[in-house]
Amino acid sequence: MADTLNLQSLSMVKEELLATIEQSGRELENFLADKDDATPLNACSNGIKQILGIFRLLELKGASLLAEELYLTVSTIEPGDNASTSTKKLEKISAAFFVMSAYVEYLQRARKRLPVLLIPQINELRKLRKEAVLPESHFFQVTFRDAPLIPPVEPIVVTDEEFKPLLTRLRQMYQVGLIGVLRSKQSIPALGLMRRSLIRLQRLGGSDKPLTLLWWLGNLAIVAVVKQNMELLESRKMLFSRLDRVIRQVQQSGSVAYQAMPPKGLVKELLYLLMLSGMNSDIIQKLRKIYAIPDLGYTDEELGRERQALQGPSASTVSSLVKVLQGEISNTKKVLETASQGAFQIDDVNSLAETLNKVAEILAIVGLKGPSVILKNEITRVRSWNDRDGQMTEADLDETAKTLLFIESATTSLENAELSSDSLEAANEVAQREIVALSELSEATKVVLKETEAGLSLTKRALNAYSESDYDSGHIRNIVKTLSSVRGGMLILMHERASAVLSSCIDFVDDVLMSPDLPPALKELLETFADAIISIEYYIDTAANSPNADDSVLKLAEDSLAALGFPSEYRAA
């Protein structure tokens, strides 16, 4: 919790505390210089003991725990051990000293403890000793009472024979999304898949089964993460992984598993994530009251800013530089375009050269040294225009424009990670043409993928309208045409497996949904068909963000269509 602390007590010991932390870190550096000498290592351990005592005196739980973990980790180091594992430990210990000093400064500035800030560093030390990591909610207090009343949902009614195949598909859907989250790719659509799985798991158990609480809270937590743009920290990825393990238990045990009480640790972590989100809905207020949860005093956004301050520069620095780069290139293109439409003259050659030089320096900073060198050579040509009072030939303009087009393509490639660093570094004339061509091909591919995404969105809206209108086929009259267009896009981009899946989707719409004699249990058939459509949508989203999309995510669509009686005819080469 973000409780206040005794600033007077902290001020009295602050200088001594920081000096002890610095000295202990210096002793560690001395040991690094000579790992056979145990004297500085022992001095470092003794210093940490002093630090731990001061933190306990100040009642700083987070800092005390970090100091304790630091002491235990230092105790595992043996003099004379030159193994790489020992070096890694020493690096993590050094980082812990840095964070510890930064946290002391933070305490005086912020006037609150906020021990949760130290959990990532504590866990780094625990992992070195192969200890279980602490959950993000470690310092979060919750009182378990009667479970909240879960809003009623329309149940999915299945027989015992149908339960396991459906549960298998729902777990597969959850896992496909979870893999996307764990890989930190396409997190929003991946979380959408996970949420859809949890919603259907909730419907499968109804609102009166104890375990349904877990699916409901998991769904709320995903909504909070997406709506509040919460960072997907490793601890949060592991939380969602633990949900998958519970789904696996249900898959193995059958419907009787829904009678089990949800694990309290998981419920606590999901509640913490909800409280941390900063949302203030009626549901959040009810949960706060039921579980006697006090106000945290901070949100995830605020926590992220403080975490950045402790850990150093923002990870988005390179991304910010790329945006500056693109802005400068755009301004330069405008200057050249104006010159090409007039008398082939630049009014302020020095200003143009300085702008290009700024671009070259940023290119070097973000790792594009080859393009940076090429641009600096081009700057020499630009500066020569001063000798002609800013006058240039059409050939001069063409060469400069060609270089600028290459630089722009290289920047786009950096942002999208589409080209190898070798191609960008070589950057000879052939490589420049390759980079520009690949950049243009990439843009064309994006256009096709955008159209296919739009087609699937249109399909989903049509299916929703069809379901809500009591199956009025007028709402889905154009679905086959839309899906055929999407399939055409997949064929153009050579995504054969996705194309085959879409072909089965088209057959299902033609043979079932457009049939004058609708089958029984059509609602559940539509749910299964929607699983297939959403799986394809997720695949296309991964293709839009990665040059090598993993088509194994299409297995969920294939399984769903097979359950509908329309298996895909795709056969891998």
pLDDT digits (tens, 9 = 90+) for 447-488: 788 888 899 999 999 999 999 998 898 999 999 999 999 998
206 found inside a domain: yes
pLDDT tens-digit profile of 285-302?
Answer: 999 999 999 888 889 988
Residues 479 and 419 both lie in one domain:
no
Residues 419 and 451 both lie in one domain:
no
| Burial of 392 (C-beta count, 10 Å sphere; 0-12/13-18/19+) | buried
Residues 185 and 211 both lie in one domain:
yes
Cβ atoms of residues 45 and 71 within 8 Å: yes
Structure tokens, 533: 């459509």
Residues 455 and 366 both lie in one domain:
no
pLDDT tens-digit profile of 496-524?
Answer: 899 999 999 999 999 999 988 888 888 88
Q: What is the SS3 assignment for 443-502?
A: HHHHHHHHHHHHHHHHHHHHHHHHHHCCCCHHHHCCHHHHHHHHHHHHHHCCCHHHHHHH
136 found inside a domain: no
Go through 149-158 and write b for each residue having 16 or more CB atoms within 10 A of its CB, e for each that does not.
ebeebeebeb
406 found inside a domain: yes
Residues 500 and 397 both lie in one domain:
no
- Residue for token pair 């949100």: 299
Report whether pLDDT(5) > 70.
no
Task: Measure the CA–CA gap between 360 and 379, rounded to whole angstroms.
Answer: 9
- Quick one: pLDDT band at residue 154, thresholds 50, 70, 90? confident
Mean pLDDT of 416-441: 47
Domains identified in the chain, total number: 4
Report whether pLDDT(304) > 80.
yes
Task: Measure the CA–CA gap between 451 and 323, rounded to whole angstroms.
Answer: 26
Q: In this predicted structure, what is the pLDDT of residue 442?
A: 60
165 against 552, higher pLDDT: 165
Residues 542 and 496 both lie in one domain:
yes
Residues 272 and 344 both lie in one domain:
no
Residues 175 and 244 both lie in one domain:
yes
Q: Transcribe 342-407 into DSSP letters.
A: TTSB-S-HHHHHHHHHHHHHHHHHTT-HHHHHHHHHHHHHHHHGGGGTTB--HHHHHHHHHHHHHH
Structure tokens, 481: 């045409």
Other C-beta atoms closer than 10 Å to the C-beta of 218 total 29
546 against 550, higher pLDDT: 550
Task: Measure the CA–CA gap between 128 and 328, rounded to whole angstroms.
Answer: 45
pLDDT tens-digit profile of 58-69?
Answer: 899 999 999 999
493 found inside a domain: yes
CATH of the domain at 548: 1.20.120
CATH of the domain at 62: 1.20.120.160
Strand partners, 391: 345
518 found inside a domain: yes
Note down the domain range covering 286: 160-295
Q: In this predicted structure, what is the pLDDT of residue 419?
A: 44
139 found inside a domain: no
Cβ atoms of residues 232 and 198 within 8 Å: no
Mean pLDDT of 361-371: 72
Residues 417 and 506 both lie in one domain:
no
Q: Transcribe 58-71 into DSSP letters.
A: TT-HHHHHHHHHHH
Go through 439-466 and write b for each residue having 16 or more CB atoms within 10 A of its CB, e for each that does not.
beebeebeebbeebbebbebbeebbeeb
Residues 450 and 523 both lie in one domain:
yes
**Of 80, 106, 128, which residue sits at a domain end?**
128
140 found inside a domain: no
* Mean per-residue pLDDT of the chain: 84
Task: Measure the CA–CA gap between 87 and 344, rounded to whole angstroms.
Answer: 61
In the chain, % of residues over pLDDT 90: 41
Q: In this predicted structure, what is the pLDDT of residue 329?
A: 80
Amino acid (1-letter code) at residue 333:
K
